[in-house]
Amino acid sequence: MGKTSEENTEEIKNTSQNYIYTGILLAIIGILVNTYILVQDSPLESHMMEWLNIVIRLMHITFGIAWIGASFYFVFLENALNRTEDVRDELAGNLWAVHGGGFYYLEKYKVAPKTIPKHLHWFKYEAYFTWLSGLCLLFVVYYFNASALLIDKNVMDISATQGILIGVGSFVVAWIIYDVMCKSALIKNQLAFSIIGFLILLGFAWFYCHVFSARAAYIHFGAMIGSVMVANVFFVIIPGQKEMVRCAKLGIPLDPSLGKKALARSLHNNYFTLPVLFVMVSNHFPSTFGYEYPWLILAIISLGAAGVKHYLNLKEKKQLNVWILPVSILILFAATFISAPSTDPYECKKEVSITEVQEIIQKRCVQCHSSNPTDDVYKVAPNGVMYDTPEEIVKKKDLIMQRVVITKTMPQNNKTNITEEERNTIRCWIEQGASLK
């Protein structure tokens, strides 16, 4: 059965729109690239980069909410379907729901309806645009400032180009490994698949933390998982659904394994969501990536978060398990206790004055944190934090204690070579009351 003229017209229309949107997107990217080249090494460079960061981050969060929300919703539907009471033979299940002042009735077909609806909604662009905006953000924040944020020569002395190639290349390697696992006999044993998969993720976490700065390592771990998720959508889920629609329209037998494979990949994506969300917010909390073994915290949080998601999925199926949630929470708490700073105070042999602290900060910090930064990357004080006066230093003493003394994540990648002795001097001053005298 061939396509009707109306279907051909609709397909041409959709294809034309896709080409137009692609052209607009490429034009915007071209304008941005050319603008960046024009303002590079000028006072406008940092201003433009900050606005790019804001715009792309907002896009990434918005698309991410839509994608993760759809993932949560459809896994909930799959778990909560009524599969036994008054279900027609052609259906896998149905569900009544109430929301926003209205009642909804949903049905899932075992394969496909006899007649494919004219208007069929596809859930794919949320995934694609989340990944694309995330990749753009990775370039804006880490790759354009690779020497400052991506590369930590105390971890591995590599060039910015090498770091970028390793980062992007690792996403491809991760997808190949995961895809091979899914196509092997291992997929039939969920427990073995989960354990081996977690160990592989642990290996990637360890690898990233031994190549990049700890902060960049966390982001690459999240970007790697996100790349696997979007590859699932692009290479498996959507092609499988397109084939199902094609077979249903032509009235030819459908391979039922297509739906099962798509469902399995969707479920994997569902378990990936919470670890990815953790990575997205972790950059604002140096207690995570600032630990001596950051890959361990990354692994613990990922395992605990996936455990919480497993509990929620079982709850939706009404298959409650009394130990999964408590164990998952204990695992998450373990990260808190493991990363806690030493309670043994550094022995302060003398009283430290604000003058000594200000000298250290002038030498190690004000290159970035000043009203007139002299750093080669930051032309505006990051997050508006400035240490030009003693009063400004006192005002931020808690932040200084956390970032400079405890987690030692500042200066960024220890770019200004602050010493342990200087960190301990600052610690003594704060512990002694952070006096302005």
Q: Could you read off the pLDDT of 363-389 as tens digits, one per residue?
A: 999 999 998 888 877 878 888 899 999
| pLDDT single digits (tens) 82-113 | 999 989 999 999 999 999 999 999 999 988 88
Cβ 261 vs Cβ 240: under 8 Å: yes
Q: Supply the pLDDT for residue 278.
A: 93
Bridge partners, 97 (sequence order): 104
Q: Supply the pLDDT for residue 7.
A: 64
Query: Which of 402, 397, 370, 367 has its CA nearest to residue 383?
Result: 370
Higher pLDDT, 5 or 419: 419
Q: Is the pLDDT at 241 greater than 70, yes or no?
A: yes
Q: Supply the pLDDT for residue 48.
A: 81
Query: Which of 267, 272, 334, 265 has its CA nearest to residue 297?
Result: 334
The structure's pTM equals 0.87
Categorise residue 121: left if φ over 0, alpha if ψ from -120 to 50, beta otherwise: beta
| pLDDT single digits (tens) 272-312 | 999 999 999 998 888 899 999 999 999 999 999 999 999 99
Q: Supply the pLDDT for residue 284.
A: 85
Residue 390 CA to residue 354 CA, distance in Å, equals: 7
Q: Supply the pLDDT for residue 346.
A: 67
Residue 90 CA to residue 78 CA, distance in Å, equals: 16
Higher pLDDT, 424 or 10: 424
Cβ 386 vs Cβ 369: under 8 Å: yes
How much is the mean pLDDT over the chain?
A: 90
Extract the tokens encoding 121. 């909604």
Q: What percent of the chain has pLDDT over 70?
A: 97
Residue 374 CA to residue 388 CA, distance in Å, equals: 13
Residue 288 CA to residue 297 CA, distance in Å, equals: 6
SS3 101: coil
Q: Supply the pLDDT for residue 52.
A: 85
Bridge partners, 103 (sequence order): 98
Cβ 113 vs Cβ 248: under 8 Å: yes
Q: Supply the pLDDT for residue 347.
A: 78
Q: Is the pLDDT at 172 greater than 80, yes or no?
A: yes
Q: Supply the pLDDT for residue 6.
A: 67
Residue 251 CA to residue 274 CA, distance in Å, equals: 40
Residue 27 CA to residue 134 CA, distance in Å, equals: 19
Residue 115 CA to residue 47 CA, distance in Å, equals: 55
Higher pLDDT, 119 or 360: 360
Cβ 300 vs Cβ 338: under 8 Å: yes
| pLDDT single digits (tens) 37-50 | 787 777 677 778 88
Task: Identify the DSSP state of 185.
Answer: G
| pLDDT single digits (tens) 195-239 | 999 999 999 999 999 999 999 999 999 999 999 999 999 999 999
Number of neighbouring beta carbons within 10 Å of residue 32: 16
- Identify the sign of the CA torsion 388, 393, 394, 395: positive
Q: Supply the pLDDT for residue 377.
A: 77
Task: Identify the DSSP state of 108.
Answer: E
| pLDDT single digits (tens) 398-414 | 999 999 998 899 998 88
Cβ 335 vs Cβ 300: under 8 Å: yes
Higher pLDDT, 1 or 60: 60
Residue 214 half-sphere exposure toward CB, CA atoms < 13 A: 25
Task: Identify the DSSP state of 90.
Answer: T
Going by DSSP bridges, is the β-strand pair 91-99/102-109 parallel, antiparallel, or unpaired? antiparallel
- The DSSP result for 322-385, as a single string, is TTHHHHHHHHHHHHHHHTPPPSS-----SPPPHHHHHHHHHHHTTTTSSSS---SS-SS-GGG-
Residue 177 CA to residue 104 CA, distance in Å, equals: 41
Higher pLDDT, 314 or 30: 314
Q: Provide the terminal-to-terminal Cα distance of the chain, rounded to the nearest Å.
A: 88
Q: Supply the pLDDT for residue 120.
A: 86
Q: Supply the pLDDT for residue 437.
A: 78
Query: Which of 263, 264, 256, 238 has its CA nearest to residue 186?
Result: 264
Residue 283 CA to residue 429 CA, distance in Å, equals: 27
Q: Supply the pLDDT for residue 12.
A: 79
